[in-house]
Chains A and B, each alone.
Chain A
Amino acid sequence: MFDRTMSTLHPEHSIRASHGLLSASDLTVTLDGKTLLDIPSIRIDAGGPTIVMGPNGAGKSLLLRLLHGLVLPSRGSIFMQGDPLDAKRRRRQAMVFQSPVILRRSVRANVEFALAAHGVPRARRRSEAIRLLTVAGLQDKARQSAPSLSGGERQKLTVVRALATRPEVLFLDEPTSNLDPASVMAIENLIMNASAEGTKIVLVTHDIGQAGRLGEDVLFLHQGRITEQTPLQAFTVSPKSQEAAAYLSGELLI
C-alpha cells in the first residue's frame, strides 16, 4: 500500500466516479437541540484542491472533521468512493489542524511516528523520514526537539507528517493562519506538490489570495449550510449566493 505508484493510487476512482471521492446525503449535526450543520447533499470529486470558505462559525472545521471521521454526524453518513467511511478508509485520509499538534520528540521522530502508524517497517522509517523532511527543507532540524521549532516550521512539520502516510485525501484546516509569508509560501508549495502527485486537497482558508493560488473549486458554507459549490474563478468573479458575495466584499462576518 505504501509503495503504490500513481497509476494504482486510486484504483476505484475511475470505476466508481459516479459516487465522487467523498460524498454524503442528508447530513446533519445537532448539539443540544441546535443544528450546527445541515447538508442535504455534498460531493467532492477527485482532482484539484477544493477550498472551503465561509464566515466564522459557519461549520467549516466541523465539516472537515466529519469528512475525516473525527466526528460522527447526528444523521446521515459519509461515503468514500461510494463505500461507508470506516477505519480502513479513514487511513487513506490525513489532516492538518489549525494549531499544529507536535509530538514531544524529535522532528524526525514525529514523521517516523506517522510512518509507524501506517505500518511502514522500522528499517525504512528513518530514511523515508529524512527524504520527506528534505523536501520540506527541514532536514537540518531532523534531530532537533520538535516542540522547539518556530511556528512556521512546526506547521511545515505537520504537513510533512500528514503527507508521510501518502493520503488520497488531505484535509487542511486554516494551516497558514498566523504564519509569516515565507512559511505560507513553503506550505503552499508542499500542498501544490501533493496535489500534483494526486492527493485530493480539501483546504479551509479565509485568505482569498491563497484560495486563488491553490484552489480549483470552492465550497461556500454559511450557518451550517452549503450555499454554493462552484469553480473558483466563477466564485471570485461572480458568486451565485448573496452570502458569498457579501463575504467577499467583507460585509458578512458571521
Chain B
Amino acid sequence: MNNFAESFSVSLRLVFLGDAELWAIVLLSLQVSLTAVILACLIGMPFGAMLAVTRFPGRRPLVVTVNALMGLPPVVVGLLVYLMLSNSGPLGVLQLLYTPSAMIIAQLILVAPIIAALTRQTVESLNEEYADQLRSLGVTHLRSVPTLLWDGRFSLATAVLAGFGRAIAEVGAVMIVGGNINHVTRVMTTTIALETSKGNLALALALGAILILIALAVNAAVTLLDAVSRQVSYV
C-alpha cells in the first residue's frame, strides 16, 4: 500500500507542471459549483430571511421542511433532474441534459435549502435583537430584510461556505445529469470516481487532495476576508 506516497508525488506533479487537462476540470468544477451557489444565494437568502421575519399559518411546517431538505440525497436529486431534463421528460426540449447547466440545476437544488435554512436561522436570531430598534426607526417587516441580511453577512458567509462545500464535493447528482463526458461535463468528483473505477487509486487520491486544497483555499479566503473587513474596511 504505497498509494499515499505515490499519490502525493502524483498530485505535486499535476499541480506544479500545470497539467492543462486537470486545470480544465478544476475550472469547470469551480464554474459549475460557484454558479450554483450564487443562484442558491439569490433564491435561498431572501426566502430564508422572509421566513425569519414573517409570521403566517403554516410557517412552522415550512421551516421544518426546508431544514429537512438540507439532507436531500444527491443521487435522488440527480435522478429527478435527469427525469425532468431527459428527452422523454417535460423539460427535454431545453436540451440541457449532459451539459454543465444541468449540473448547475442539480447542485442548485441541493444547495438552496442549505442557504435558506441557515439564513433563516441567522436572520431570526439577529431579528430578535434588532426588531424593536428597526420598528422604532420605522423600518418594518419585509423592508428590514436587506438590513438583516447585510448585518448578518459574517454568519451568512458560513452558510455560503457550507453550500459551496456541498456543491463542490457532490458526485451522485452531477454524474447522472452531466454524464461525466470528457471535456464537457467532467468535474473533479466524477473524475475521481472514474479513476477509482479504473483502479488508478493514486491518481484518484491525488485529485482528491487537490479538491481538498481548493476547499481549504476557499475557506481561508473567506476567513481572511472576514477578518479584514471586520477590522479595516468599515465604511
Contact = CB atoms under 8 A, between A and B. Distances in A.
Contacts of B147: 103, 113
B148 to A, nearest CB: 10
Contacts of A162: 136
Contact of A117 (B139, B150, B231, B234): B139
A145 B231 contact: yes
Interface in A37-75: 65, 68-70
Interface in B182-233: 230-231
B137 A104 contact: no
Given A70-B132, A101-B130, A109-B234, A117 B138 contact: yes
Contacts of B154: 104
Nearest to A106: B234
A91 B134 CA distance: 11
Nearest to A71: B132
B133 A109 contact: no
Interface residues of B, number: 20
A114 interface: yes
A165 interface: yes
Contacts of B140: 87
A87 B234 CA distance: 32
B235 interface: yes
A97 B154 CA distance: 25
A118 interface: yes
The listed residue with most B CB atoms (<10 A of its CB), out of A106, A118, A145, A162, is A145
Interface residue tally on A, bucketed by range = 20 to 34
Contacts of B150: 105
A118 B138 contact: yes
B151 A95 contact: no
B129 A90 contact: no
Contacts of B129: 101
B135 interface: yes
B151 A114 contact: no
A143 interface: yes
A104 B151 contact: yes
Given A90-B138, A117-B138, A117-B139, A101 B235 contact: no
Contacts of B231: 145
A97 B234 contact: no
Contacts of A191: none
A94 interface: yes
A145 B234 contact: yes
A144 interface: yes
Given A91-B138, A114-B137, A101 B234 contact: no
A207 to B, nearest CB: 23
B230 A165 contact: no
Contact of B135 (A70, A103, A108): A70
Contacts of A97: 132-133
Interface string A79-106: 0000000010011011101000101111
Nearest to B130: A101
A95 B136 contact: yes
Nearest to A117: B137
Interface of A: 65, 68-70, 87, 90-91, 93-95, 97, 101, 103-106, 108-109, 113-114, 117-118, 143-146, 162, 165
9 contacts: A68-B136, A87-B138, A90-B138, A93-B136, A94-B136, A106-B234, A108-B235, A145-B234, A162-B136
Given A104-B152, A106-B234, A165-B137, 7 more contacts: A94-B136, A105-B150, A108-B235, A118-B138, A143-B235, A144-B234, A162-B136
Across the A-B interface, the 5 shortest Cβ-Cβ residue pairs: A106-B234, A101-B133, A104-B151, A117-B137, A95-B136
